[in-house]
């Protein structure tokens, strides 16, 4: 089963280094421009770049998300596909080594199939 849904909300359909913007847009249900504006404004506040984990992560935190780490039983083998199988409902943002992607309803929303990427941490919306 494919867990991937091709998703690129970039208004110009560009495939640039904007995975944080795409993931935040999907997780918050806003368009690319709104997500970019939120992340850039937060980056300006904290004097950090929009791609900084603390910058876009605090945007998620301010919108009801919390961060969790992958359990230590298999920190180098737990993939995004594994995560989707284990989390068929809910909204998440997955953090990989150098990429992030949104998972909504057990499906990965990304510009490429990142289902084989190894997770480091994830954000989830608290009930």
- Number of structural domains found in the chain: 1
Q: What would the pLDDT profile of 1-10 be if each residue is shown by its tens digit?
A: 799 999 999 9
Given a cut of 70, the residues of the chain with pLDDT beneath it are 75, 127
Q: Give residue 62's domain range.
A: 18-125
Cα 123 to the center of its chain, rounded Å: 8
- Rg, Å, the chain Cα set: 14
Decide if 5 is inside a domain: no
Q: What would the pLDDT profile of 84-106 be if each residue is shown by its tens digit?
A: 999 999 999 999 999 999 999 99
Decide if 7 is inside a domain: no
Decide if 110 is inside a domain: yes
C-alpha distances in angstroms, 107 versus 47, 58, 62, 74?
33, 23, 24, 22
User: End-to-end alpha-carbon separation of the chain, Å?
Assistant: 28
Decide if 24 is inside a domain: yes
């Amino acid at each position: 089963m494919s867990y991937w849904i091709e998703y690129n909300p970039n208004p110009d359909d560009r495939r640039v280094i904007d995975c944080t913007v795409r993931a935040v847009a999907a997780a918050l249900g806003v368009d690319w421009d709104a997500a970019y504006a939120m992340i850039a404004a937060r980056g300006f506040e904290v004097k950090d770049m929009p791609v900084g984990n603390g910058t876009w992560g605090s945007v998620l935190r301010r919108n009801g998300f919390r961060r969790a780490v992958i359990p230590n039983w298999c920190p180098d083998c737990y993939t995004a596909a594994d995560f989707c199988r284990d989390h068929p409902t809910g909204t998440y943002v997955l953090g990989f080594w150098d990429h992030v992607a949104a998972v909504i309803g057990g499906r990965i929303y990304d510009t490429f199939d990142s289902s084989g990427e190894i997770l480091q941490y994830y954000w989830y919306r608290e009930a």
